[in-house]
Amino acid sequence: MKRYLIFITALLLFNCNGNSQKDKNKSFKITKTDAEWKAQLSDMAYYVLRKEGTERAFSSPLNKNYKKGIYVCAGCDTPLFKSEHKFDSGTGWPSFDREIKGNVAFSSGSDLFYGIEEHCATCGGHLGHKFNDGPKNTTGIRHCINGAALKFIPEK
């Protein structure tokens, strides 16, 4: 019986048809071929947005950017986060306590340690992960976002 429970638990945890897999098949407003994405994006942006990679902590210049403006998807320019919702989480990635509603999609990831996956709702590009350890004086949420997935548009 014990072996049976271990087998069932492992099957549930490592199931290839998890929610993340199903969400990847969703059609988005902006779709391109893999070759088109590769031609448009930098190597790191392609790795993060299209292959769900993660940049090295503290490697993005956007991590310490505190200018006023808006952060948009590096793949399709969809507005994702406002500068007034950015905070220094100390994790090494740009962090926000809230997203621009409707422009960020969420799915449960296949890795239990990485929280809820975040994607651009327009092109499906992988942004990062959402955690419940953000500032308690605001939303309590931390959107941990790869800087390579973002472009910053300064306020005029």
Measured distance CA(77)–CA(37) in Å, rounded: 14
Residue type, 75: G
Record the tokens describing residue 13, joined without a space.
């945890």
How are beta strands 116-120 and 79-82 bridged, if at all? unpaired
Chain centroid to CA 37: how far? 17
According to DSSP, residue 110 is labeled S
The residue among 125, 107, 4, 128 whose CA lies nearest residue 54 is 128
73 has catalytic annotation: no
Catalytic residues, by residue number, are: 144
